[in-house]
Chains A and B, each alone.
Chain A
Protein backbone atom coordinates (compact mmCIF):
# COMPACT_ATOMS: atom_id res chain seq x y z
CA UNK A 1 0.00 0.00 0.00
CA UNK A 2 1.55 3.34 -1.02
CA UNK A 3 2.23 5.54 1.94
CA UNK A 4 0.82 9.03 2.03
CA UNK A 5 2.72 11.34 4.28
CA UNK A 6 1.12 13.43 6.98
CA UNK A 7 2.67 16.54 5.41
CA UNK A 8 0.90 15.94 2.11
CA UNK A 9 -2.46 16.88 3.53
CA UNK A 10 -4.17 20.17 2.68
CA UNK A 11 -5.79 21.83 5.63
CA UNK A 12 -8.93 23.97 5.81
CA UNK A 13 -10.00 23.65 2.19
CA UNK A 14 -13.26 25.08 0.89
CA UNK A 15 -14.60 21.51 0.87
CA UNK A 16 -13.64 21.13 4.56
CA UNK A 17 -15.48 24.35 5.40
CA UNK A 18 -18.68 23.63 3.50
CA UNK A 19 -18.36 20.00 4.60
CA UNK A 20 -18.75 20.93 8.27
CA UNK A 21 -21.90 22.85 7.37
CA UNK A 22 -23.13 19.70 5.59
CA UNK A 23 -22.55 17.69 8.77
CA UNK A 24 -24.74 20.07 10.78
CA UNK A 25 -27.75 19.62 8.49
CA UNK A 26 -30.93 18.38 10.06
CA UNK A 27 -29.68 19.68 13.40
CA UNK A 28 -30.17 22.46 15.92
CA UNK A 29 -27.48 24.99 16.85
CA UNK A 30 -28.23 26.48 20.25
CA UNK A 31 -27.16 29.77 21.83
CA UNK A 32 -25.58 29.24 25.25
CA UNK A 33 -24.07 31.72 27.72
CA UNK A 34 -22.12 29.37 30.00
CA UNK A 35 -20.72 25.85 30.28
CA UNK A 36 -23.78 24.52 32.13
CA UNK A 37 -26.12 25.62 29.36
CA UNK A 38 -23.72 24.14 26.80
CA UNK A 39 -23.96 20.77 28.55
CA UNK A 40 -27.75 20.97 28.65
CA UNK A 41 -27.73 21.74 24.91
CA UNK A 42 -25.39 18.82 24.12
CA UNK A 43 -27.44 16.47 26.29
CA UNK A 44 -30.59 17.55 24.45
CA UNK A 45 -28.98 16.63 21.12
CA UNK A 46 -27.72 19.97 19.75
CA UNK A 47 -25.34 19.56 16.79
CA UNK A 48 -23.39 22.65 17.90
CA UNK A 49 -23.53 25.48 20.40
CA UNK A 50 -23.07 29.22 19.89
CA UNK A 51 -21.03 30.68 22.76
CA UNK A 52 -22.38 34.09 23.73
CA UNK A 53 -22.27 36.46 26.72
CA UNK A 54 -25.90 37.45 26.26
CA UNK A 55 -28.64 35.84 24.21
CA UNK A 56 -30.26 38.19 21.68
CA UNK A 57 -33.34 38.79 23.88
CA UNK A 58 -31.06 40.18 26.61
CA UNK A 59 -29.01 42.23 24.15
CA UNK A 60 -32.31 43.75 23.06
CA UNK A 61 -33.51 44.37 26.61
CA UNK A 62 -30.25 45.73 27.99
CA UNK A 63 -29.04 47.68 24.97
CA UNK A 64 -25.48 48.98 24.73
CA UNK A 65 -22.79 47.79 22.33
CA UNK A 66 -22.77 44.01 21.84
CA UNK A 67 -19.31 42.59 21.14
CA UNK A 68 -17.44 39.29 20.75
CA UNK A 69 -17.56 37.17 23.91
CA UNK A 70 -14.71 37.01 26.42
CA UNK A 71 -12.26 34.24 25.33
CA UNK A 72 -12.49 32.81 28.86
CA UNK A 73 -16.17 32.06 28.36
CA UNK A 74 -15.52 30.52 24.95
CA UNK A 75 -12.76 28.28 26.33
CA UNK A 76 -14.97 27.12 29.21
CA UNK A 77 -17.66 26.13 26.74
CA UNK A 78 -15.12 24.40 24.46
CA UNK A 79 -13.91 22.39 27.44
CA UNK A 80 -17.44 21.46 28.48
CA UNK A 81 -18.71 19.83 25.27
CA UNK A 82 -17.52 17.59 22.43
CA UNK A 83 -19.82 19.07 19.76
CA UNK A 84 -18.67 22.01 17.60
CA UNK A 85 -18.51 25.41 19.30
CA UNK A 86 -19.36 28.52 17.31
CA UNK A 87 -18.91 32.14 18.33
CA UNK A 88 -19.94 35.51 16.93
CA UNK A 89 -17.87 38.43 15.71
CA UNK A 90 -19.23 41.85 14.80
CA UNK A 91 -19.89 42.56 11.14
CA UNK A 92 -16.61 43.71 9.59
CA UNK A 93 -14.57 43.15 12.75
CA UNK A 94 -11.84 40.99 11.28
CA UNK A 95 -9.69 41.21 14.40
CA UNK A 96 -12.44 39.66 16.52
CA UNK A 97 -12.55 36.98 13.81
CA UNK A 98 -8.77 36.50 14.04
CA UNK A 99 -9.08 36.08 17.81
CA UNK A 100 -11.90 33.56 17.45
CA UNK A 101 -9.84 31.60 14.93
CA UNK A 102 -6.88 31.62 17.34
CA UNK A 103 -9.21 30.20 20.02
CA UNK A 104 -10.03 27.33 17.68
CA UNK A 105 -13.76 27.90 17.43
CA UNK A 106 -15.28 25.59 14.82
CA UNK A 107 -17.42 28.20 13.03
CA UNK A 108 -17.58 32.01 13.21
CA UNK A 109 -20.93 33.76 12.87
CA UNK A 110 -20.34 37.26 11.47
CA UNK A 111 -23.55 38.37 13.05
CA UNK A 112 -26.00 41.24 12.89
CA UNK A 113 -26.97 40.35 16.47
CA UNK A 114 -23.78 42.10 17.61
CA UNK A 115 -23.31 45.82 17.00
CA UNK A 116 -21.66 46.23 13.57
CA UNK A 117 -18.02 47.35 13.62
CA UNK A 118 -18.08 48.47 10.00
CA UNK A 119 -21.04 50.17 8.36
CA UNK A 120 -19.90 49.40 4.80
CA UNK A 121 -17.85 46.22 4.63
CA UNK A 122 -17.93 42.65 5.88
CA UNK A 123 -14.96 40.43 6.77
CA UNK A 124 -13.13 38.87 3.78
CA UNK A 125 -13.76 35.34 4.96
CA UNK A 126 -11.61 33.47 2.41
CA UNK A 127 -8.56 34.72 4.34
CA UNK A 128 -9.45 32.47 7.28
CA UNK A 129 -9.00 28.75 7.95
CA UNK A 130 -12.10 28.65 10.11
CA UNK A 131 -15.45 28.56 8.25
CA UNK A 132 -17.95 31.43 8.56
CA UNK A 133 -21.73 31.64 8.60
CA UNK A 134 -23.48 34.90 7.72
CA UNK A 135 -27.07 36.08 7.79
CA UNK A 136 -29.17 37.16 4.82
CA UNK A 137 -32.61 38.53 4.06
CA UNK A 138 -32.61 37.81 0.35
CA UNK A 139 -30.67 35.99 -2.37
CA UNK A 140 -28.45 38.95 -3.28
CA UNK A 141 -27.25 39.31 0.31
CA UNK A 142 -26.68 35.52 0.54
CA UNK A 143 -24.57 35.50 -2.62
CA UNK A 144 -22.51 38.54 -1.56
CA UNK A 145 -21.63 36.76 1.67
CA UNK A 146 -20.81 33.50 -0.13
CA UNK A 147 -18.56 35.39 -2.56
CA UNK A 148 -16.73 36.85 0.47
CA UNK A 149 -16.18 33.29 1.72
CA UNK A 150 -19.16 32.32 3.90
CA UNK A 151 -19.40 28.50 3.97
CA UNK A 152 -22.92 28.56 5.38
CA UNK A 153 -25.83 30.97 5.10
CA UNK A 154 -28.62 31.49 7.57
CA UNK A 155 -31.66 33.58 6.92
CA UNK A 156 -31.69 36.27 9.60
CA UNK A 157 -35.19 36.44 10.97
CA UNK A 158 -35.41 38.90 13.85
CA UNK A 159 -33.24 37.58 16.67
CA UNK A 160 -34.38 37.81 20.27
CA UNK A 161 -38.07 38.30 19.51
CA UNK A 162 -39.44 34.76 19.63
CA UNK A 163 -41.55 35.89 16.66
CA UNK A 164 -41.16 33.67 13.59
CA UNK A 165 -42.61 36.10 11.03
CA UNK A 166 -39.31 37.60 9.87
CA UNK A 167 -37.60 34.20 9.63
CA UNK A 168 -40.46 33.05 7.41
CA UNK A 169 -40.31 36.18 5.29
CA UNK A 170 -36.55 35.90 4.73
CA UNK A 171 -36.66 32.19 3.94
CA UNK A 172 -39.57 32.65 1.52
CA UNK A 173 -37.78 35.54 -0.14
CA UNK A 174 -34.59 33.53 -0.72
CA UNK A 175 -36.45 30.42 -1.92
CA UNK A 176 -38.76 32.47 -4.20
CA UNK A 177 -35.82 34.25 -5.76
CA UNK A 178 -34.06 30.93 -6.38
CA UNK A 179 -37.21 29.49 -7.98
CA UNK A 180 -37.68 32.60 -10.08
CA UNK A 181 -34.20 32.81 -11.60
CA UNK A 182 -34.25 29.12 -12.52
CA UNK A 183 -36.83 29.91 -15.17
CA UNK A 184 -35.27 33.05 -16.63
CA UNK A 185 -33.48 33.02 -19.98
CA UNK A 186 -29.72 33.38 -19.54
CA UNK A 187 -29.55 36.83 -21.12
CA UNK A 188 -31.64 38.22 -18.26
CA UNK A 189 -29.32 36.97 -15.53
CA UNK A 190 -26.72 39.73 -15.82
CA UNK A 191 -29.39 42.32 -15.07
CA UNK A 192 -30.70 40.13 -12.24
CA UNK A 193 -27.16 40.03 -10.83
CA UNK A 194 -26.87 43.80 -11.13
CA UNK A 195 -30.22 44.40 -9.48
CA UNK A 196 -29.64 42.06 -6.57
CA UNK A 197 -26.05 43.14 -6.16
CA UNK A 198 -24.72 39.62 -6.49
CA UNK A 199 -21.76 38.18 -8.44
CA UNK A 200 -22.87 37.06 -11.91
CA UNK A 201 -21.12 33.66 -11.67
CA UNK A 202 -22.96 32.80 -8.46
CA UNK A 203 -26.28 33.89 -9.94
CA UNK A 204 -25.58 31.57 -12.91
CA UNK A 205 -24.74 28.69 -10.57
CA UNK A 206 -27.90 29.12 -8.50
CA UNK A 207 -30.04 29.42 -11.64
CA UNK A 208 -28.58 26.18 -12.93
CA UNK A 209 -28.66 24.14 -9.74
CA UNK A 210 -31.75 25.55 -8.09
CA UNK A 211 -30.01 25.87 -4.73
CA UNK A 212 -27.36 27.87 -2.93
CA UNK A 213 -23.80 26.58 -3.29
CA UNK A 214 -23.59 26.27 0.53
CA UNK A 215 -26.10 24.98 3.10
CA UNK A 216 -28.92 27.35 4.02
CA UNK A 217 -30.05 27.35 7.66
CA UNK A 218 -32.71 29.39 9.44
CA UNK A 219 -32.35 31.72 12.44
CA UNK A 220 -34.05 34.51 14.32
CA UNK A 221 -37.34 33.92 16.12
CA UNK A 222 -37.70 30.15 16.51
CA UNK A 223 -39.37 29.46 19.89
CA UNK A 224 -41.29 26.19 19.47
CA UNK A 225 -40.87 22.77 17.80
CA UNK A 226 -43.58 23.83 15.35
CA UNK A 227 -41.56 26.95 14.43
CA UNK A 228 -38.53 24.77 13.74
CA UNK A 229 -40.54 22.33 11.62
CA UNK A 230 -42.11 25.24 9.74
CA UNK A 231 -38.70 26.57 8.76
CA UNK A 232 -37.59 23.08 7.67
CA UNK A 233 -40.70 22.66 5.53
CA UNK A 234 -40.03 26.05 3.95
CA UNK A 235 -36.59 24.86 2.89
CA UNK A 236 -34.19 25.43 5.81
CA UNK A 237 -31.59 22.66 6.13
CA UNK A 238 -31.08 23.16 9.89
CA UNK A 239 -32.01 25.77 12.49
CA UNK A 240 -30.35 28.13 14.94
CA UNK A 241 -32.25 28.71 18.17
CA UNK A 242 -31.13 31.66 20.25
CA UNK A 243 -33.24 33.01 23.06
CA UNK A 244 -36.05 30.51 22.37
CA UNK A 245 -34.55 27.77 24.53
CA UNK A 246 -32.93 29.32 27.57
CA UNK A 247 -35.60 32.03 27.88
CA UNK A 248 -38.32 29.37 28.17
CA UNK A 249 -39.59 27.73 31.39
CA UNK A 250 -38.01 24.32 30.84
CA UNK A 251 -34.96 24.71 28.57
CA UNK A 252 -33.80 21.07 28.63
CA UNK A 253 -37.18 19.79 27.59
CA UNK A 254 -37.77 22.42 24.95
CA UNK A 255 -34.27 21.94 23.52
CA UNK A 256 -34.85 18.22 23.18
CA UNK A 257 -38.24 18.77 21.57
CA UNK A 258 -36.83 21.19 19.00
CA UNK A 259 -34.09 18.67 18.12
CA UNK A 260 -36.74 16.02 17.51
CA UNK A 261 -38.94 18.42 15.52
CA UNK A 262 -36.09 19.15 13.09
CA UNK A 263 -35.68 15.41 12.39
CA UNK A 264 -39.41 14.67 12.08
CA UNK A 265 -40.36 18.04 10.55
CA UNK A 266 -42.81 16.55 8.06
CA UNK A 267 -44.53 14.10 10.42
CA UNK A 268 -47.46 15.94 12.08
CA UNK A 269 -48.37 12.98 14.32
CA UNK A 270 -44.89 12.95 15.82
CA UNK A 271 -44.83 16.76 15.98
CA UNK A 272 -48.03 16.70 18.05
CA UNK A 273 -46.36 14.35 20.50
CA UNK A 274 -43.13 16.37 20.51
CA UNK A 275 -44.98 19.65 21.16
CA UNK A 276 -46.93 18.33 24.14
CA UNK A 277 -46.48 19.74 27.65
CA UNK A 278 -43.25 21.67 27.18
CA UNK A 279 -43.96 24.42 29.68
CA UNK A 280 -44.14 28.07 28.73
CA UNK A 281 -42.21 29.28 25.69
CA UNK A 282 -40.28 32.56 25.81
CA UNK A 283 -42.60 35.52 26.11
CA UNK A 284 -41.39 37.25 22.96
CA UNK A 285 -42.19 40.53 21.31
CA UNK A 286 -43.87 41.16 17.99
CA UNK A 287 -41.14 41.75 15.41
CA UNK A 288 -43.46 43.97 13.41
CA UNK A 289 -43.85 46.35 16.34
CA UNK A 290 -40.12 47.13 16.45
CA UNK A 291 -38.97 50.55 15.24
CA UNK A 292 -36.30 50.31 12.55
CA UNK A 293 -33.55 51.35 14.98
CA UNK A 294 -34.25 48.22 17.01
CA UNK A 295 -34.34 45.83 14.07
CA UNK A 296 -31.23 43.68 13.90
CA UNK A 297 -31.93 42.15 10.49
CA UNK A 298 -31.34 45.43 8.63
CA UNK A 299 -27.67 45.28 9.64
CA UNK A 300 -25.60 43.87 6.77
CA UNK A 301 -24.47 45.45 3.52
Chain B
Protein backbone atom coordinates (compact mmCIF):
# COMPACT_ATOMS: atom_id res chain seq x y z
CA UNK B 1 0.00 0.00 0.00
CA UNK B 2 1.31 3.46 -0.93
CA UNK B 3 2.06 6.17 1.56
CA UNK B 4 1.65 9.77 0.43
CA UNK B 5 3.49 12.60 2.11
CA UNK B 6 1.92 16.05 2.30
CA UNK B 7 4.41 18.88 2.77
CA UNK B 8 3.18 20.56 5.97
CA UNK B 9 5.40 23.61 6.41
CA UNK B 10 2.52 26.01 5.75
CA UNK B 11 -0.74 26.12 3.77
CA UNK B 12 -3.85 23.98 3.29
CA UNK B 13 -2.11 20.63 3.82
CA UNK B 14 -4.98 19.38 6.00
CA UNK B 15 -7.37 19.70 3.07
CA UNK B 16 -5.13 17.42 0.99
CA UNK B 17 -5.00 14.93 3.84
CA UNK B 18 -8.82 14.98 4.06
CA UNK B 19 -9.01 14.27 0.31
CA UNK B 20 -6.57 11.36 0.65
CA UNK B 21 -8.61 10.07 3.61
CA UNK B 22 -11.70 10.03 1.40
CA UNK B 23 -9.71 7.92 -1.07
CA UNK B 24 -8.66 5.68 1.82
CA UNK B 25 -5.00 6.34 1.17
CA UNK B 26 -2.65 6.66 4.10
CA UNK B 27 -0.81 9.94 4.36
CA UNK B 28 1.70 11.70 6.57
CA UNK B 29 2.54 15.36 7.23
CA UNK B 30 6.09 16.00 6.07
CA UNK B 31 8.26 18.57 7.88
CA UNK B 32 11.67 16.82 7.94
CA UNK B 33 13.97 15.67 5.16
CA UNK B 34 14.37 12.27 6.82
CA UNK B 35 10.68 11.59 6.16
CA UNK B 36 11.18 11.67 2.38
CA UNK B 37 12.70 8.18 2.46
CA UNK B 38 9.53 6.77 3.94
CA UNK B 39 6.99 8.04 1.42
CA UNK B 40 6.14 6.99 -2.13
CA UNK B 41 5.01 10.37 -3.41
CA UNK B 42 4.52 13.93 -2.21
CA UNK B 43 1.84 16.62 -2.38
CA UNK B 44 2.86 20.27 -2.11
CA UNK B 45 -0.22 22.19 -0.96
CA UNK B 46 -1.56 25.66 -1.58
CA UNK B 47 -0.35 28.41 0.69
CA UNK B 48 2.16 31.22 0.31
CA UNK B 49 4.89 30.11 -2.08
CA UNK B 50 7.41 32.62 -0.66
CA UNK B 51 6.86 31.40 2.90
CA UNK B 52 7.08 27.72 1.97
CA UNK B 53 10.15 28.37 -0.20
CA UNK B 54 12.00 30.10 2.64
CA UNK B 55 11.18 27.29 5.06
CA UNK B 56 12.37 24.71 2.50
CA UNK B 57 15.72 26.50 2.40
CA UNK B 58 16.06 27.04 6.17
CA UNK B 59 15.22 23.44 7.00
CA UNK B 60 17.40 22.05 4.19
CA UNK B 61 14.61 20.37 2.27
CA UNK B 62 15.27 21.93 -1.14
CA UNK B 63 17.99 19.60 -2.41
CA UNK B 64 16.39 16.43 -0.98
CA UNK B 65 13.16 17.40 -2.78
CA UNK B 66 15.00 17.86 -6.08
CA UNK B 67 16.53 14.44 -5.61
CA UNK B 68 13.09 13.05 -4.78
CA UNK B 69 11.84 14.36 -8.13
CA UNK B 70 14.95 13.14 -9.96
CA UNK B 71 14.39 9.66 -8.58
CA UNK B 72 11.07 9.65 -10.44
CA UNK B 73 8.86 9.79 -7.37
CA UNK B 74 5.43 11.32 -8.04
CA UNK B 75 4.87 14.93 -6.90
CA UNK B 76 1.65 16.94 -7.09
CA UNK B 77 1.61 20.69 -6.47
CA UNK B 78 -1.50 22.87 -6.21
CA UNK B 79 -1.29 26.65 -6.65
CA UNK B 80 1.67 27.61 -4.43
CA UNK B 81 2.82 24.02 -4.91
CA UNK B 82 2.76 24.50 -8.70
CA UNK B 83 4.76 27.73 -8.32
CA UNK B 84 7.39 25.97 -6.20
CA UNK B 85 7.71 23.20 -8.81
CA UNK B 86 8.08 25.62 -11.74
CA UNK B 87 11.52 26.30 -13.16
CA UNK B 88 10.60 29.86 -14.12
CA UNK B 89 8.67 32.39 -12.03
CA UNK B 90 8.09 35.60 -13.95
CA UNK B 91 9.72 38.62 -12.34
CA UNK B 92 10.75 36.76 -9.20
CA UNK B 93 13.93 35.22 -7.86
CA UNK B 94 12.13 33.54 -4.95
CA UNK B 95 13.29 30.14 -3.70
CA UNK B 96 11.82 27.20 -5.61
CA UNK B 97 12.29 23.50 -6.17
CA UNK B 98 12.34 24.11 -9.95
CA UNK B 99 11.82 20.66 -11.42
CA UNK B 100 8.93 21.30 -13.83
CA UNK B 101 9.51 22.87 -17.28
CA UNK B 102 6.91 25.60 -17.03
CA UNK B 103 6.95 29.38 -16.58
CA UNK B 104 4.39 30.83 -14.20
CA UNK B 105 3.27 34.30 -13.26
CA UNK B 106 2.10 34.70 -9.67
CA UNK B 107 -1.24 36.32 -8.70
CA UNK B 108 -1.83 36.64 -12.41
CA UNK B 109 -5.62 37.03 -12.31
CA UNK B 110 -5.35 39.89 -9.82
CA UNK B 111 -5.90 40.38 -6.11
CA UNK B 112 -8.21 38.36 -3.90
CA UNK B 113 -11.42 40.02 -5.17
CA UNK B 114 -10.59 38.52 -8.59
CA UNK B 115 -10.44 34.99 -7.17
CA UNK B 116 -13.04 32.78 -8.85
CA UNK B 117 -14.53 29.36 -9.50
CA UNK B 118 -15.16 27.80 -12.89
CA UNK B 119 -15.83 24.38 -14.37
CA UNK B 120 -12.70 22.78 -15.76
CA UNK B 121 -12.64 19.92 -18.22
CA UNK B 122 -10.01 17.25 -17.79
CA UNK B 123 -10.64 14.61 -20.49
CA UNK B 124 -8.13 12.24 -18.85
CA UNK B 125 -10.35 11.80 -15.81
CA UNK B 126 -13.77 11.77 -17.44
CA UNK B 127 -16.43 13.84 -19.18
CA UNK B 128 -17.89 15.58 -16.15
CA UNK B 129 -16.12 18.82 -15.30
CA UNK B 130 -14.27 19.42 -12.06
CA UNK B 131 -14.94 22.60 -10.14
CA UNK B 132 -11.82 24.73 -10.35
CA UNK B 133 -11.33 26.93 -7.31
CA UNK B 134 -8.78 29.63 -8.17
CA UNK B 135 -7.45 31.74 -5.28
CA UNK B 136 -4.94 34.50 -6.08
CA UNK B 137 -3.94 31.92 -8.64
CA UNK B 138 -0.89 31.86 -10.88
CA UNK B 139 -1.09 31.54 -14.65
CA UNK B 140 1.08 29.07 -16.52
CA UNK B 141 2.54 31.25 -19.28
CA UNK B 142 4.65 28.70 -21.13
CA UNK B 143 5.17 24.98 -21.10
CA UNK B 144 8.22 23.37 -22.68
CA UNK B 145 8.33 20.17 -24.72
CA UNK B 146 7.63 17.14 -22.62
CA UNK B 147 4.99 18.90 -20.53
CA UNK B 148 1.50 17.62 -21.21
CA UNK B 149 -1.38 20.08 -20.81
CA UNK B 150 -4.29 18.17 -19.26
CA UNK B 151 -6.67 21.10 -18.97
CA UNK B 152 -6.98 24.75 -19.90
CA UNK B 153 -9.14 27.60 -18.71
CA UNK B 154 -9.59 30.52 -21.09
CA UNK B 155 -6.54 29.40 -23.11
CA UNK B 156 -4.12 29.11 -20.21
CA UNK B 157 -2.98 25.68 -19.01
CA UNK B 158 -4.33 25.00 -15.50
CA UNK B 159 -3.36 21.34 -15.07
CA UNK B 160 -0.09 20.00 -16.48
CA UNK B 161 2.00 16.87 -16.18
CA UNK B 162 5.63 16.07 -16.92
CA UNK B 163 6.67 12.52 -16.18
CA UNK B 164 5.33 11.90 -12.69
CA UNK B 165 5.07 15.55 -11.74
CA UNK B 166 1.56 17.00 -11.74
CA UNK B 167 0.72 20.66 -11.16
CA UNK B 168 -2.60 22.50 -10.87
CA UNK B 169 -3.08 26.25 -10.60
CA UNK B 170 -6.39 25.62 -8.78
CA UNK B 171 -7.35 23.75 -5.61
CA UNK B 172 -9.02 20.34 -6.10
CA UNK B 173 -8.47 19.80 -2.36
CA UNK B 174 -11.08 22.47 -1.58
CA UNK B 175 -13.88 20.48 -3.24
CA UNK B 176 -15.35 17.05 -2.51
CA UNK B 177 -14.26 15.79 -5.93
CA UNK B 178 -11.44 13.29 -5.49
CA UNK B 179 -10.79 12.52 -9.16
CA UNK B 180 -7.67 14.64 -9.63
CA UNK B 181 -6.08 13.17 -6.53
CA UNK B 182 -7.06 9.70 -7.77
CA UNK B 183 -5.37 10.51 -11.09
CA UNK B 184 -2.24 11.56 -9.21
CA UNK B 185 -2.29 8.25 -7.33
CA UNK B 186 -2.51 6.40 -10.65
CA UNK B 187 0.95 7.80 -11.49
CA UNK B 188 2.45 5.82 -8.59
CA UNK B 189 2.08 2.51 -10.43
CA UNK B 190 2.41 3.84 -13.99
Contact = CB atoms under 8 A, between A and B. Distances in A.
A83 interface: yes
B149 to A, nearest CB: 9
A263 B118 CA distance: 32
Most A CB within 10 A of own CB, among B50, B119, B171: B50
Given A6-B154, A263-B31, A20 B48 contact: no
Nearest to A83: B48
A13 B117 contact: yes
Contacts of B116: 9-13, 16
Interface centre among B10, B47, B136, B153 (most CB of A within 10 A): B10
B117 A10 contact: yes
A47 B51 contact: yes
B123 interface: yes
Contacts, number: 136
Interface in B33-63: 46-48, 50-51, 54-55, 58
Contact of A106 (B54, B111, B121, B171): B111
Contacts of A105: 111-112
A277 interface: no
Interface string B57-96: 0100000000000000000000110000000000010000
Contact of B119 (A6, A8, A16, A129): A8
A4 B170 CA distance: 15
Given A47-B10, A82-B50, A22 B112 contact: no
Interface in A243-300: 259-260, 262-264, 267
B135 interface: yes
Interface residues of B, number: 47
B121 A1 contact: yes
A27 B55 CA distance: 11
Interface stretch (B12-20, B140-148, B160-168, B178-186): B12-20
Interface residues of A, number: 44
A130 B50 CA distance: 22
Given A20-B112, A107-B112, A4 B171 contact: no
Contacts of B80: 23
B8 A129 contact: no
Contacts of A44: 54
Contact of B9 (A9, A23, A26, A267): A26
Contacts of B58: 260
Given A25-B11, A82-B106, A264-B31, A16 B48 contact: no
B112 A131 contact: yes
A130 B107 CA distance: 15
Nearest to B173: A22
> Which of A20, A45, A47 counts the most B-chain CB atoms under 10 A from its CB?
A45
A23 B48 contact: yes
A53 to B, nearest CB: 21
A15 interface: yes
Contact of B136 (A6, A8, A15, A106): A106
What are the nearest 6 A-B pairs in CB distance? Answer: A106-B112, A9-B118, A16-B115, A6-B154, A9-B116, A26-B10
Interface of A: 1-2, 4-6, 8-13, 15-16, 19-20, 22-27, 42, 44-48, 82-84, 101, 104-107, 129-131, 259-260, 262-264, 267
Interface of B: 8-15, 31, 46-48, 50-51, 54-55, 58, 79-80, 92, 106-107, 110-121, 123, 129, 133-136, 151-154, 171, 174-175
